[in-house]
Structure 1
């Protein structure tokens, strides 16, 4: 049986695991806490405790049987945990590997003042976390070239889905319409991340892929659509310049670009949720928006 190991089975990793399980894979995933381990087990994902440090005997044993791997752990200042000094070579850790995916971010492109970017666009990361992502991308792509294995870098847009979306923010009273002139963001429904990963894995496709919806748009429009679906008043506009934001939240607004998914669609992938309106409507009508 094909076996997928997810390093960092959080929101996206869990969705990937569920998609691969439905395709007949056995799936394991790492987590830092025993509490989250139980939620993985309930989804049919075999949990392995791993804090990003030394590789335990349990994790090493699972790596030896993995035919597919997805790395979702953020690199941090010390780099990707699987390429840190003292860690055995990936070819030794993953001897049965046929395909690997690395979850990155469209943040690696930096700011393009609203212009379109694609996989060929030169990278210009602004934040420290995006600089770290570029380094990790290069390590994984380098491993793919050296080993002759397909390694796919999945550059993800803003992730949302059941339990994490504008509808829930509206219900909880945390939805805000921050207005910054001409600002747009891309988004991606978490289930489409899982479907895209399986699509690439089944076709043994490596290289860089933007995993993002069809329609970059102003973030305040998403809030307005959520309010419309719930039949609630649209929250008031808040000028970005005077809004109280965490440094991380403010940094996201320092990057403005439209990210193309044309490469993935040209390869034959079809998004189930190509825009936020269709996606929010499905979440609302299915009742899954609360998670």
Structure 2
């Protein structure tokens, strides 16, 4: 083959390569897969319900219906945990499993079904005390937590140290039964003294005391800032807090000191 023929052959080959390469690149990339229901529900969702103590007593049917416990919030976590909180404070905390494209099964509680996500709201159905309910909730914002404070967001168990020893004795609780959990969306769970039942409150940072937490029920308007928990030591495995009280026209005083260990 002559040098000219070889040059022509190479030119044709390169032209074909460029043509097919460009044609391949022009093919649109496949659309990303639609997020699964489990991915869509991540985070905390708050329903608009009145706490049981605020519902006016009445003999008519509408008020009797309101007095039935209702879901106050539901939270979903990447490790397949869930937290379901009712408006009287009781919480269910455990693992969930997927039943189908619109239903989950909450361990220790039961299924929630007809789950629908629309923009920043979620709705679902559930059965409680053999009664069918529906719930609708809006997405809650996370609490601003600095990197150094993120170890707080886990489950802790009270140690038999400092005032923890007296607490266990006074409450007649077995060591290891007093646990609590902080979530990034401002939910605080605590066990009762038998270590089996969870109750829920909200938490936020104290506006004036540095590195201190306040706990409250209901809305932020109900917060008592004169009682708070100051974090004095925090690591991935241990936590030490001072329960601080401010009496009228007095300086803050430490009422108790508690040490907690991370639950593994």
TM-score normalised by length of structure 2: 0.26
TM-score (norm. length: structure 1): 0.24
**Is the radius of gyration larger for structure 1 or structure 2?**
2
Higher share of residues assigned strand = 2
Task: Determine which structure has the larger helix proportion and give its number.
Answer: 1
